[in-house]
Structure 1
Amino acid sequence: MMGIRKPSKCLREVWDMKRGILCILITGILLLAGCGQAADPEAVSGRAAQIAQMLRESKFSEVLAQGDAAFQAALPEYQLQQAWCQVALGLGGYREIVDTSITSQGGDAQAVVTLGYEKGGLALTLGFDREMLLTGLWVKSADVQLAAATPTPLQSGIQEEEVTFAADPALPLSGTLTLPDGQEKPLPAVVLVHGSGQSDRDEAIGPNKPFRDIAHALAAQGIAVLRYDKRYYTYPEAGTALDSDLTLREEVLDDVAAAVQLLRADERIAPTQVFVLGHSMGGMLLPAILAEDPDLAGGISMAGSLRPLWEISYDQNQELAKTIEPQLNRQQAAVLQQQMQQVESDVAVLRSLSASMLGNSETLLGIPVGYWRSVEEYRGDRWIDTATQPLLVLQGEADFQVFPDTDYPLWQQALDGRDNARCVLYPGLNHLMMPSSGRRDTGDYQFQSTVDTQVTDDIAEFVWENVG
């Protein structure tokens, strides 16, 4: 049999691109049941490696097919997917199996497979019966330190250097400035602004690094690019200390302003030709960023929205519920219905602005009300009319996190009649502006890809069109 923990709530990552749905709908990591003695440890090890590979390749239905009847009945596919992706996607690219240990008793066996990734590891525990069918699965983070991978050589014609800057002197941030070789005059430059969650400078998710792709592609076309590690990626304890006092100002906006000033102070950069590109939540904040700094040359929203985060999260949960409901038994469906009722209730409070009657430390959708107040303050539709600089809006048609049939038309309507704004919808591209595998879940991000060249070409063209 399999034990399942109660659903957990995540703090301040409602629109996290690494999860894509409200964490209150994600059931906790799955608990191993059986352990025992297998006749052939090598066979168990090989079977465990096979299942680990299926998980890495997002073949969750195939994993379930390896289980006994009780395993399959207890574990919906969506639950396995979310448990795996919640642990694995933030670790970067997969490197190797570090260790496999086998224990056994009677006719059953347990395998613990430790997997190494760029940024750490995870421990996958699998239970097998004497027929080598899965009886349990448990995945959790593991402390794995691998030797640093040999850096991928930069393409010819570009160079990179490490930079440091700080909006808060106690919390300096590290970043990478990518430049074209052989510059003869001050360059236009772009600052890259992350989505929600605690991202590194490459905005790495699984094996994909969209910000690195963009930086290299733009530098190859003569444009400098600054990307940096997000504040609470570098200092998670600082975000925890703020607790309910954390807002978008500390999480994002102050650091964007400091990054822009760093570029303006660099003699290699044209100070009047600094642009900001915001991805996901960064795109939502782009109108406020542009309005607060009218000297910015322009902005690029990539998979962003003018709606507040709670509306995005609500739609994501609605789509998830429709997708997973056919997989659930009666008891699981009842739990899902209860969770969705709570989502409906919390979103109703946020929509009615009655959250203003609550204290900062109270929570809605698992997020402190103080944070939601900052979301309300900086929501894109409140700032778009005062953000008068040139604007480029990019959206993937296969995006399942920010909806092309809802969010993209809102940009078109808001920018209608502006001759310095343009919207582009790309067939087949997902939330990372990479070709979609066809999946409409976070398993799509486990397939290694790169940002589509048409996207980076359009960004470069926009920048060069709008430099004085």
Structure 2
Amino acid sequence: MSLALRVTLSFVLFALTIVAESAQAQTLPRRSQLGAGVAASEGGVTVTAIAPDSAAERAGLSSGDLIQRVGAATIATPADFVAGVRAARPGRATPFAIIRDGAPTTLDVTLIEAPRENAPGIQTVYGAVEVAGALRRTLVTAPNGGANRRRPAVLIVQGIGCYSIDDSTPVSQMYARLAHDLTRAGIVVMRIDKSGMGDSQGPACNTVDFDMELAGYAAALQALRADRRVDPDQVFVFGHSIGSIGAPLLAAGQPVAGVIAAQGAGVTWMEYSLINIRRQLELGGASPADVDAALIVTASCSNRILLNGEPVQQVIAQTPECANLVPMPMSQAYMRQLTDINIAGIWGAFTAPTLLIYGESDYATNRADHERLAAIVNAVNPGGAQVILLPGVDHYLAQAETQAASMERLAAGNQFGTYAPQFSAAVSAWICARASCRP
């Protein structure tokens, strides 16, 4: 087996297909929903999957159909398809020009509005914040009742990659489960979609840099602190995975009551990447010589792409192994900004109470990094940081007996597994020990 095939390189790298969305105007409307997956093909896009009881199924779209036009838009790529569907309004028939079994035909497709989140005992409010002239979708969950009561609140800063926190996909449900558990404990929780994802306006997510992504979270935090249901003195920031880098940056820029970071990196990105590759290769059974060989190539590739800024495709063309050893889940600009961040510097720049959570079945990060971050915070604010270890919890906040078991589940196609409720319990207990939580 080649080194390229043996490297997993996971740090919550989510790549989920968005098949239909629409977001325009100052009052951010709900996106439309088609319910079809597509793949690139010559002369258009080919339908690969149809969701049951969807607009696509009701209109008669079938797997294998070649879509060439949506409304007035010519479709040459999946991106064209997404843009064409984005331009269609729910509730109105839109003509889809297709080729089926070699014969051209037209189907009138009436898209529907995407369903809204509806959890028992919880209010979910769909809002928006403005970032660089574009609106981003926010979801705020609050306990039912106590309309005049100001509550503690949490902003969730999620992992790296382009995906929506407002749909039925596993990554969305992971953050929804955390938000709902915290809300049932008496905490208001805000999530925000990334640029161009879900209902959000703005540039395509995979073109945005780290600073622009962080600006979205900063706008969300400001809005959360101003929410009439929220006590502005009891607002916390929770960062998961790459969010563990964004959370302390937000805390250094706005007053917060505390920071919670989980399953994150505690060293510079280049160091993290090398350590992560070594760990995962060793867990996967690679020989010591193969591990070291992979790290040598990785160091060279990373230096060229992340430090020197050589075009990614040029580097991959010259050294194909780089494609597997240096993952690019976001734009090169994003990853280069991430590489330049002084981790110790940002964690030493605020004095808010801090909780570091490490699920011990996480194969993508390690315990030592979380302990290092706690030591950095405690050096500035003695006793300000605490580390909690959660056995049986992995990087995806799911149940897994060991790191190897989590990797095996991913290899079997079940990346997100079964959510670990003890994770929510740890977060809510820490917040409620410092704030007035009343379900």
Structure 1 pair 15–288 and aligned structure 2 pair: CA distance change class (3 A): farther
Mapped partners of 1:237, 1:339: distance in 2:
37
Deviation at 1:277, TM superposition (A): 0.6
Mapped partners of 2:373, 2:266: distance in 1:
7
For residues 27-73 of structure 1, give each alpha carbon's deviation from its aligned partner in whole angstroms, at most 9, with x where no partner exists: xxxxxxxxxxxxxxxxxxxxxxxxxxxxxxxxxxxxxxxxxxxxxxx
Mapped partners of 1:119, 1:435: distance in 2:
35
Q: Report if the CA contact (8 A) 2:280-2:363 is conserved.
A: no
Structure 1 pair 291–396 and aligned structure 2 pair: CA distance change class (3 A): same
Aligned residue type for 2:236: F
Structure 1 pair 337–396 and aligned structure 2 pair: CA distance change class (3 A): closer
Deviation at 1:200, TM superposition (A): 1.4
Q: 1:296 aligns with which of 253, 256, 263?
A: 256
For residues 362-391 of structure 1, give each alpha carbon's deviation from its aligned partner in whole angstroms, at most 9, with x where no partner exists: 979475764344224434322111121011
Q: Tell me what 1:383 maps to.
A: 346
For residues 156-215 of structure 1, give each alpha carbon's deviation from its aligned partner in whole angstroms, at most 9, with x where no partner exists: 3x211111111222x211121100111242111101111110131259764772210111
Deviation at 1:403, TM superposition (A): 2.2
Aligned residue type for 1:164: A
Q: 1:318 aligns with which of 272, 278, 285?
A: 278
Of stretches 421-430 and 439-448 in structure 1, the one that deviates more from structure 2 is 439-448
Residue 18 (1) aligns with residue 34 (2): no
- Unaligned stretches of 5+ in structure 1? 1-6, 9-13, 20-85, 92-96, 100-111, 126-139, 328-332
Q: 1:274 aligns with which of 230, 235, 238?
A: 235
Q: Tell me what 1:77 maps to.
A: none
Q: Tell me what 1:308 maps to.
A: 268
For residues 249-276 of structure 1, give each alpha carbon's deviation from its aligned partner in whole angstroms, at most 9, with x where no partner exists: 112x111111011112221111222111
Q: 1:263 aligns with which of 211, 224, 241?
A: 224
Mapped partners of 1:180, 1:89: distance in 2:
30
Deviation at 1:324, TM superposition (A): 5.7
Percent identical pairs in the alignment equals: 21
Aligned residue type for 1:18: L
Aligned residue type for 2:243: G
Structure 1 pair 305–320 and aligned structure 2 pair: CA distance change class (3 A): closer
Q: Tell me what 1:48 maps to.
A: none
For residues 209-237 of structure 1, give each alpha carbon's deviation from its aligned partner in whole angstroms, at most 9, with x where no partner exists: 22101111111111000112112435698
Structure 1 pair 113–377 and aligned structure 2 pair: CA distance change class (3 A): closer
Structure 1 pair 310–147 and aligned structure 2 pair: CA distance change class (3 A): farther
Structure 1 pair 445–288 and aligned structure 2 pair: CA distance change class (3 A): farther
Alignment of 1:196-235 (within 5 A): 196-201=160-165, 206=170, 209-234=173-198
Residue 414 (1) aligns with residue 376 (2): yes
Aligned residue type for 1:298: G
Secondary structure at the aligned position of 1:439 is classed as: helix
Deviation at 1:17, TM superposition (A): 0.7
Structure 1 pair 457–325 and aligned structure 2 pair: CA distance change class (3 A): closer
Deviation at 1:326, TM superposition (A): 6.0
Secondary structure at the aligned position of 2:265 is classed as: coil
Q: Report if the CA contact (8 A) 1:397-1:425 is conserved.
A: yes
Secondary structure at the aligned position of 2:244 is classed as: helix
Structure 1 pair 450–217 and aligned structure 2 pair: CA distance change class (3 A): farther
Mapped partners of 2:115, 2:336: distance in 1:
44
Q: Tell me what 1:423 maps to.
A: 387
Mapped partners of 2:373, 2:413: distance in 1:
25
Q: 2:123 aligns with which of 150, 155, 159?
A: 159
- Unaligned stretches of 5+ in structure 2? 21-34, 38-46, 65-77, 86-108, 316-321
Superposition TM-score, scaled by structure 2 size: 0.63
Alignment of 1:120-199 (within 5 A): 153-156=118-121, 158-169=122-133, 171-183=134-146, 184-199=148-163
Q: 1:238 aligns with which of 182, 196, 203?
A: 203
Superposition TM-score, scaled by structure 1 size: 0.60
Structure 1 pair 113–445 and aligned structure 2 pair: CA distance change class (3 A): closer
- Superposed CA RMSD in Å reads 4.6
Count how many residue pairs are aligned between Structure 1 and Structure 2. Answer: 341
Q: Report if the CA contact (8 A) 2:164-2:172 is conserved.
A: no
Mapped partners of 1:302, 1:273: distance in 2:
20
Deviation at 1:314, TM superposition (A): 2.3
Q: Tell me what 1:82 maps to.
A: none
Q: Tell me what 2:90 maps to.
A: none
